[in-house]
Amino acid sequence: MSHILIVEDEPRISAFLEKGLQANGFTTSVIQDGDDAISFALDGTFDLIILDLGLPGKDGLMVLEEIRGQGIQTPVIILTARDDVNDKVSGFESGADDYVTKPFRFEELLARVRARLRTSSASQTHADTTVKFGSILLDLRTRRVHVQDRLVELSAREFTLAEIFLRHPGQVLSRQQLLDRVWGYDYDPGSNIVDVYVGYLRKKLGNDLIETVRGMGYRLRA
C-alpha cells in the first residue's frame, strides 16, 4: 500500500485529498507547513508527495529544492493555484515530477498519482526495495521479513513500524512521530498503541533490538 504525504495548509483541500486517496487504497499523512514537510520528506518512508507552493514557513519551492538537495528522489506532484508559466518552469527546475493547478478534478490528480507511482516502481532496483540492518532484511516488494534465515510474519502496521526503525538506526523516534507516520493524524494521541506494537516487534525481531529512551521515545540500537 503506497503512503502519500500531503503538504497543504488549507484544511478543506487537505481533507478532500486525504478522503479521496484513502478511498482509493492509499495511506496518507498531512503536513501544513514547509518546515515540517522537509522533516517528514527526509524520513524517506513516503512513496509520493503532493506539495502546495503557498505554505507557511518555507514555501513549496524551497521545500522541494531542499529535499532534492538532500538526495530524496520521492516523486513530487505540485498542486497549486499558481498557473503562470514561469511558476511551472520553476517547479520543474526545482525537481517536481508533475504540476497540477487549482481548481482541479480529483480523477485527473488520481491518474497522475498512479502514473508517477508506476514510473517510480518500474525504476527501482532490488537494492532500492530492501532494507537491511544486521541480520534483519525487509523486502519492500513482497512485504516479507527475514531474521537470519528465518521468515518472520509481520502485520502491515508492524512492517511499516519496523521499516521506520531500520531506516533510522541510532535515532530517537518519539511516540508522536511514530503515531503520525504509522497510524496517521486521526489516531488518539493518548493511546498506547505505539508501545504495544514496539512490544510486538521486540518479540518477533529480538528483545534487545529496540531500546526505550525514557521521556523521549524509542531507538533502534545502532
The residue out of 123, 139, 156 marking a domain boundary is: 123
Residues 142 and 111 both lie in one domain: no
Residues 48 and 146 both lie in one domain: no
Residues 29 and 133 both lie in one domain: no
- Label the pairing between strands 144-147 and 150-152: antiparallel
Residues 109 and 19 both lie in one domain: yes
Mean pLDDT over 43-66 rounds to 90
Residues 113 and 133 both lie in one domain: no
Q: In this structure, what CATH number is given to the domain that contains residue 21?
A: 3.40.50.2300
pLDDT band for 140, please (50, 70, 90 cuts).
Answer: confident
pLDDT for 7 equals: 96
Residues 20 and 113 both lie in one domain: yes
> What is the per-residue DSSP string for 19-61?
HHHHHTT-EEEEE-SHHHHHHHHTT---SEEEE-SS-SSS-HH
Q: How far apart are the first and last CA of the chain?
A: 28
Q: What average pLDDT does the structure give for the chain?
A: 87
Residues 156 and 59 both lie in one domain: no
- HEC string of 54-72 equals CCCCCCHHHHHHHHHHCCC
When mean pLDDT is compared across 12-21, 25-34, 182-191, the lowest value belongs to: 182-191
pLDDT for 119 equals: 75
Q: In this structure, what CATH number is given to the domain that contains residue 173?
A: 1.10.10.10
Residues 100 and 119 both lie in one domain: yes
Count: domains in the chain: 2
Residues 167 and 106 both lie in one domain: no
pLDDT for 123 equals: 55
pLDDT for 125 equals: 47
When mean pLDDT is compared across 23-27, 95-99, 128-132, the lowest value belongs to: 128-132
When mean pLDDT is compared across 48-62, 162-176, 200-214, the lowest value belongs to: 162-176
pLDDT for 127 equals: 46
Q: What percent of the chain has pLDDT over 70?
A: 92
**Domain that residue 199 falls in:** 128-220
Q: Are 205 and 151 in contact (CB under 8 A)?
A: no
pLDDT for 184 equals: 65
pTM of the model: 0.58
Mean pLDDT over 47-69 rounds to 92
Residues 92 and 173 both lie in one domain: no
Residue 198 has pLDDT above 80, yes or no: yes
The residue out of 73, 98, 123 marking a domain boundary is: 123
Task: Compare 215 and 44 and report the one with higher pLDDT.
Answer: 215
Q: Are 5 and 41 in contact (CB under 8 A)?
A: yes
pLDDT band for 126, please (50, 70, 90 cuts).
Answer: very low
Residues 147 and 206 both lie in one domain: yes
Residues 96 and 203 both lie in one domain: no
The residue out of 102, 123, 144 marking a domain boundary is: 123
pLDDT for 186 equals: 55
pLDDT band for 188, please (50, 70, 90 cuts).
Answer: low
pLDDT for 183 equals: 76
